[in-house]
Structure 1
Amino acid sequence: MTKPVGIILAGGLATRMGGGDKGLLPLGNGTLLSHVINRLSPQVGALALNANGDPSRFDEMGLPVLPDSIDGFAGPLAGVLAGLDWAAAQGASYVVSAAADTPFFPRDLVDRLTRAAAEAHAPIALAATRDPARGPMRQPTFGLWDVSLRSDLREALESGLRKVVLWTDKHGAAQAVFEPDPFDPFFNVNTPEDLAHAQSLLEAAP
């Protein structure tokens, strides 16, 4: 498989943070989004950002900004679709998605997702975190998606589908399971308290 391209999903409404773009909140010497870019860009062949509204607010990131092609706030699958359409235009076969508010996701995310999809002969692979009590907990905004599924996804969204796993289960999505080491690598920032916790995790990192 040639290297997938990447799409960062930044279209959330951030209601628990008072609205606006969570990805532009400060973290360390950068922003949540800059940390995500720094982790994902070495793993993919090209990188774009999915966000709606005025794209100029992301100018300093130096990335293409792709709006949803589905009207209304259709959730993360609309961002995946934008990424699939962009990947097809790049001549890529796969796109990997990551959330803009999750600054500590694994640096081997793409390799692990690619391997999981290949071993299962599946067109989709989702990341998951192993929970000692409940088993693997899927992280549906972190996935590897086959570009050939974009027409099927567009039809599903236009019919009203919004829940990611309902669509991925239909296509027999594989899983790449990651261990908490020492914390959930898919910890995401939803509240001011989460942002403070992310700052403390960053400062404690070696």
Structure 2
Amino acid sequence: MRTVGVILAGGRARRLGGGDKGLVAVGGTPMLERIVARFGSQVDRLVLSANGDPGRFRSRPPLTGLPVLPDAGADGAPAAGDEDGAGPLAGILAALDWIAAQGLDATHLVSVPTDCPFLPADLVARLAAASAGAQASGAVAPRIVAVARSCPDGSGWIPPRLHPVVARWPVTLRSDLRRALYREGVRSVGAFLARCPVIPVDFAPLDVGPGGGIDPFFNVNTPDDLAAADRLAHAPDAG
């Protein structure tokens, strides 16, 4: 066992009619199910991070059997609170706690959001390769976090952009993350990453034919985004 994946599925679709953002359909398939299909085969174990009733996910065949983890609290027990929770850092911490509780020999956790339906098929391998290269060059191996970055396509349409929640986290960061989150009040993933050696990993646009490329980390936040994602879902190489 080397790598566990966590889908941060706690996002709410407030601008898309409410409910869980991951259950909003793109091209006829809920985004969460698309991500499970694209990402699940890249990791050794897969979990969902979400508060509230886990049955809303477990009742769907592609998600049946996946552990659904509520946010981790300061003492390692599930955090009390509303379904919005304490943000993505608490979901990442919950997955790290789960790895420890299960006694898994995983060395890393890869996190992805629930609203990026076109994740690269080589995401985990590329993040792992970048981490290995950095360790070989003498970086501080136990703390290296490899973070996905959109690579410009040359047209200026896709700007370079770091995606802090699409990252490969060493499990050794668990104690540091709990302290930052619950003792120091750090809520931003970017703020926590500022404390760690970060390796940006560039991903080129996905080629979807004559219309050009798309950012592989395109995320769905608005009705316009959803309409664009529906169109892209029918492109032959978008998946």
TM bracket (short chain): over 0.9
**Which structure 2 residues correspond to residues 168-179 of structure 1 after superposition, within 5 A?**
168-179=193-204
Aligned residue among 149, 155, 158 for 2:173: 149
What is residue 81 of structure 1 aligned with on the other side? Answer: 93
Give, in whole Å, the separation in 2 of the partners of 1:192 and 1:106. Answer: 23
Please tell me whether the aligned partners of residues 68 and 78 of structure 1 are also in contact (alpha carbons under 8 angstroms).
yes
SS in 2 for 1:145: strand
Give the Cα–Cα distance (whole angstroms) in 2 for the partners of residues 165 and 130 of structure 1. Answer: 19
Q: Which moved more, 1:147-156 or 1:17-26?
A: 17-26
| Distance in 2, Cα, partners of 1:114 & 1:102 | 20
Q: Which residue of 2 is the match for residue 96 of structure 1?
A: 110
Q: 5+ residue gaps in structure 2?
A: 74-78, 136-140, 207-212
1:138 to 2:162 alignment: yes
Please list, as runs of the form range in 1=range in 2, the aligned pairs for 1:1-206 lying within 5 A after superposition.
3-59=2-58, 60=60, 61-62=63-64, 63-70=66-73, 71=79, 73-88=85-100, 89=102, 90-121=104-135, 122=141, 123-131=144-152, 136-158=160-182, 159-181=184-206, 182-206=213-237
CA distance in structure 2 between the partners assigned to 1:103 and 1:135 by the alignment: 19
* Contact 1:87/1:94 (<8 A) preserved: no
The number of residues matched between the two structures is 205
Letter in 2 for 1:176: V
Percent identical among aligned pairs is 48
In structure 2, what residue type is equivalent to 1:129?
Answer: S
Give the stretch that moved more between structures: 125-134 or 152-161.
Answer: 125-134
| Contact 2:27/2:231 (<8 A) preserved | no
Once the two structures are superposed, what CA deviation does each residue of 1:59-95 show, in whole Å capped at 9, x if it has no partner?
1211110010134532111111111112232331111
Query: Deviations along 1:156-192, whole A, 9 cap, x unmatched?
Result: 0002101112211211111111112311000011012
Distance 1:117 1:10 in 2: 25
CA contact (8 A) 2:11 2:22 kept: no
Secondary structure of 2:71's partner? coil
Give me the whole-angstrom Cα distance separating, in 2, the residues matched to 1:54 and 1:138: 32
- The TM-score, its normalising length taken from structure 2, stands at 0.80
Note closer, same or farther for the CA distance 1:193–1:83 as it changes in structure 2 (3 Å cut): same
Structure 1 residue 115, shift from structure 2 partner: 1.0
- Paired AA for residue 204 in structure 1: A
Whether contact under 8 Å (2:7, 2:112) holds in the other structure is yes
CA distance in structure 2 between the aligned counterparts of 1:111 and 1:95, rounded to whole angstroms:
13
Contact 1:87 1:93 in 2 (8 A): no
Which runs of 5 or more structure 1 residues have no equivalent in the other structure? none
CA–CA separation in structure 2 for the residues paired with 1:202 and 1:165 = 29
RMSD: 1.8
Q: CA deviation at 1:135?
A: 6.4
- Structure 1 equivalent of residue 210 of structure 2: none
Secondary structure of 1:204 counterpart: coil
Structure 1 residue matching 2:164: 3-state secondary structure: strand
Q: CA deviation at 1:18?
A: 3.5
SS for the counterpart of 2:161 is: strand
Contact (CA 8 Å) 1:85, 1:147: kept in 2 or not?
no
